[in-house]
Amino acid sequence: MFLMKTDMFTLNRKIFAVFAACLIAAAATAYSQSVAGGVYPTPAYGWPNYHSVNGLGFYLAGDAGISVLPDFNSSRFGGPARFSADPGARFSLEPGYDFLSTRQLTLGAEFETGAIYNRLNSINVGGTSTDMRGDYYQVPFLGNLVLKFGPDSWVKPYIGVGGGGVYSHARIHGDFDEWAWSDQTDPAVQAMAGVRFQLTPFADLGLGYKFLMVLPGDDNQVYTHAVLASFNLAF
Domain residue limits, the chain: 2-234
Q: Are 82 and 73 in contact (CB under 8 A)?
A: yes
- Which tens digits make up the pLDDT trace of 26-84? 555 444 544 445 444 444 434 444 465 567 899 999 999 999 999 999 999 888 999 99
Q: Are 187 and 176 in contact (CB under 8 A)?
A: no
- Which tens digits make up the pLDDT trace of 158-190? 999 999 999 999 999 876 667 899 999 999 999
pLDDT at 47: 40
Name the β-bridge partners of 145.
109, 161
pLDDT at 17: 56
In one-letter notation, the amino acid at residue 231 is F
- Please state, in angstroms and rounded to a whole number, the distance separating the CA atoms of residues 162 and 172: 30
Confidence of residue 3 (pLDDT cuts 50, 70, 90): very low
With left for phi above 0 and alpha for psi between -120 and 50, is residue 210 left, alpha or beta? beta
- Please state, in angstroms and rounded to a whole number, the distance separating the CA atoms of residues 88 and 223: 13
Give the count of alpha carbons within 13 A of 42, CB side only. 23
Q: What's the CATH number for 2-234?
A: 2.40.160.20
- Which tens digits make up the pLDDT trace of 85-133? 999 999 999 999 999 999 899 999 999 999 999 999 999 988 888 888 9
pLDDT at 66: 98
Higher pLDDT, 179 or 139: 139
The model's pTM is 0.81
For residue 28, what are the CA distances in angstroms to 25, 118, 174, 176? 5, 38, 54, 59
- Please state, in angstroms and rounded to a whole number, the distance separating the CA atoms of residues 146 and 159: 6
Report percent pLDDT > 90 for the chain.
Answer: 63
Confidence of residue 14 (pLDDT cuts 50, 70, 90): low
pLDDT at 2: 38
